[in-house]
Structure formats: structure tokens, C-alpha cells
Structure 1
Amino acid sequence: MIRSCKSLFVLIFLLSGVTCAHADAPIVTWPDGWEVEATPPDQATPQVSRQRAVKNDQGGAPLMVMELTMTTVESGHQVNLQGVLLEMRKSVQKDFFQGGYQSVCNKIHPATLSRLAALETTCTITQNGRHVLSQTLVAAVDADKAYVLSYAGQAEAYKASLGEIEAARNSLKL
């Protein structure tokens, strides 16, 4: 039921001035029981690193997906974080709409991601009036890196996993 959304990678295209410098990957402590997926570097976009974990049900079907993306930004480039997050939110809504879902996202609001000031939005995805999925996008910028944490899951699993998600967010070392 959880679909991969192209929107997670919109950040790459919205950050003009991206460099190819390699940087140390952020450190995150994934929740116990989540399966960490290998995300080898993409040769086409070496300035991007991704880390991903999935929480599966007993049958192996995904209930929750959490992904941290880091993009290296050219020194001196000013990232319009509000604009980036707005475009990502639009992309999420468009992807779900094309899949037959409706979505409503809350207003983009201030948050934190590790030690950084961030912006955040959460989308509630429904089908035939029934809440089926939730997805949160959190974006932050450091001097030469931009980060996006995205987590999504089935409505009940999302609600039940908020403690694990908060622990993972608090463990971030960017």
C-alpha cells in the first residue's frame, strides 16, 4: 500500500548550484525492528546520499518507510527551503492524486532536524473518505548541505510509530 514517491528526489532538481563534492553521510539510529535498506550511491547524482528503513508487518508487507536524503550544495548558494518543501508537497499530492487518492497537507511550519532549524509538513491521504496513509516531510539546510527526512505509512501504523520516529529524529547527527 505504501508507494515510492518521486517527490523524495525533487530536492535534487530544486537545489540549483549542486556540487559533486563527497561528504560524510549523516548518522541515524534506526528503530529496532525496522529493516535498513542498502542505498548504494547513484553514479548519476554522486552529490546525493540516501538512507532508508522500512517497518514491515508480520507478513513482510511495508507498514512504514523512513528516508533521509542529504544533498551537497555549492558554497554560497542560498536554498529557498520554503520553496523546496512546497514543491515536494505538491509533488506528493500529485503522485497520490494520480493513484486515486485525495490528500490534505497542513501548513508548512517551523521544526527542527537534529541541530538545525527546519520546515515541516504532514499530508493526510484518503481514499473514498477513509484515512489510509500519512506522510511527513522535514527539510533543513546547513552551510553546504540540504537534508530531507520523509516518513510515510499506513494510517494506524503511522500513528503507532510516532514514538519510534521521534527517537530516530532525535538520534540524527547531521
Structure 2
Amino acid sequence: MIESFKPRVAALLLLAFAGLVQAAPQVTWPQGWTVEPVPAQEGDQAAEVSRQRAVKSDAAGNPQVVMELTMTQVDSGHVVNLQGVLLEMRKSVQKDFARGGYQSVCNKIHAAQLSRLQALETTCTITQNGRHVLSQTLVAAVDGNKAYVLSYAGQAQAYAESRDEILAVRNSLKL
């Protein structure tokens, strides 16, 4: 089930951002999480996108929570409409879940913090037959010529239980 909600934000970022490559941000993933290679998506090289992902699995090896950090270079002089980008990402998440037979409700986009940066954030609660099964949060920030999105999603209980680990990653990012 977790495969259906792996973060799908890179494609939307590619539409909003493009530019030159620089060093990838540094992420310290929580102990016990597995760092996964992120397959390149169409346009990643052209837009100079850096993506990093880690997965928290249960004792049987089943994925429970997925976190992904995407950094995209922004063309010099381009002003990013962060609210608009996050709205489009949220719509995409909701459409993807709806296609899978899920219902989703997302909270209002609000101010947040991503490492040292002012950011915007929204969290979606995904239900099936009235039962809360998944949660996904999208956090976006811009710093000069770089745009960042941290997306994390997981089965409802594992997501809640991973809150401290997720916040530790968010606060320790070197962007």
C-alpha cells in the first residue's frame, strides 16, 4: 500500500523550476531507515534536480513511512510562487489517491519551518471507507536560487509514531 503514496512531487517541481546544478543538501536520516536510490524522472537532468529518499519499514520489511527531499535549481531572477506550487502538488496528491479509491482531506496551507528556512506546509489525511489509513505532508521552501520540497507519507499509525524522527530530520537539514 505504501508504494501508492511514494512522494510524486518532482514532476511538479520540474514545471516550476529550472537552472544550474549545485551541491545536494545534506540529510541525516534516522537510524534504522533505509536510504533508497531515487530513480531519475524525465527532465531531472535538464532541470538539475537532486532527490534523496529514505524508508522506515516494519520488522517484516514492509514500508511504513517514506520521506523524500527534492532540491531544484531556480533560474536567476525567477520568482517562485510557493503557494501556487504547493497548491498544485496538493491537488496532484489528492488526484492520485482518488484514482486508487481513497478519499483525502488536506489542511489549509500554512507557514512552517524547514531547517533554517521559512516554508509553507500542508498535510493530507487519506481515508478508505471512513477509516484513516495514510497521512502525507508536503513542506516547500525557497532559498535564493534553490527550491526545496520535503514530502513524507506513511500508514496512519506509523506516521504518528515517527513524528519525532521526522521533526529531527526537518530541523537538521543542511540546505
Alignment partner, residue 165 of structure 2: 164
The two structures have a TM-score, normalised by structure 1, of 0.94
SS of residue matched to 2:44: coil
Q: Which residue is equivalent to 2:75?
A: 74
Counterparts of 2:120 and 2:146, CA distance in 1:
15
1:31 corresponds in structure 2 to 30
Q: 1:104 to 1:152 in 2, by over 3 A?
A: same
Aligned-residue CA RMSD in angstroms?
1.4
Quick check: 1:11 aligned with 2:13? yes
Q: Greater CA deviation, 60-69 or 36-45?
A: 36-45
Q: Distance in 2 between matches of 1:39 and 1:152?
A: 16
Alpha-carbon displacement from aligned partner over 1:92-146 (angstroms, at most 9, x marks no partner): 0000000000000000000011111100000000000000000000000011000
Q: Which residue of 2 aligns with 1:132?
A: 133
d(CA) in 1 for partners of 2:130, 2:10: 25
Task: Report the 3-state secondary structure (helix = DSSP H, G, I; strand = E; otherwise coil) of the residue aligned with 2:171.
Answer: helix
Query: d(CA) in 1 for partners of 2:118 and 2:95?
Result: 27
Query: How far 1:11 sits from its partner (Å)?
Result: 1.4
2:122 is the counterpart of 1:121: yes
Consecutive unaligned residues of structure 1, counting only runs of 5 or more, are none
Give distance in 2, aligned partners of 1:10 and 1:66. Answer: 17
Give the equivalent residue in structure 2 for 1:96.
Answer: 97
1:48–1:70 Cα contact (<8 Å) kept: yes
- For 2:104 and 2:115, the matched residues in 1 are separated by 28
Task: Go from structure 1 to structure 2 and tell me whether the alpha carbon gap of 1:124 and 1:43 turns closer, same or farther (over 3 Å shift).
Answer: closer
Structure 1 counterpart SS, 2:13: helix
Count of residue pairs the alignment pairs up: 171
How far 1:12 moved relative to its partner?
1.3
Answer whether contact 1:125 1:131 (CA < 8 A) is retained.
yes
Structure 1 equivalent of residue 152 of structure 2 = 151
Structure 1 position 40, deviation (Å): 6.1
The one-letter code matched in structure 1 to 2:170 is R
Extract unaligned runs of 5+ from structure 2. Answer: none
Report which stretch shifted further, 2-11 or 56-65. Answer: 2-11
**1:13 maps to amino acid:** L
Identity of aligned residues (%): 69
Give, in whole Å, the separation in 2 of the partners of 1:30 and 1:66: 9
Alignment partners' CA distance in 2, 1:102 and 1:39? 27
Structure 1 residue identity aligned to 2:30 = P
Compared CA separation, residues 22 and 7, structure 1 to 2 (3 A): closer
The alignment partner of 2:60 has SS state of coil
Change in 2 beyond 3 A, CA 1:88/1:42:
closer
So what's the TM-score if we normalise by structure 2?
0.93
- Residues 70-96 of structure 1 deviation map (CA, whole Å, 9 limit, x = unaligned): 000001100000000000000000000
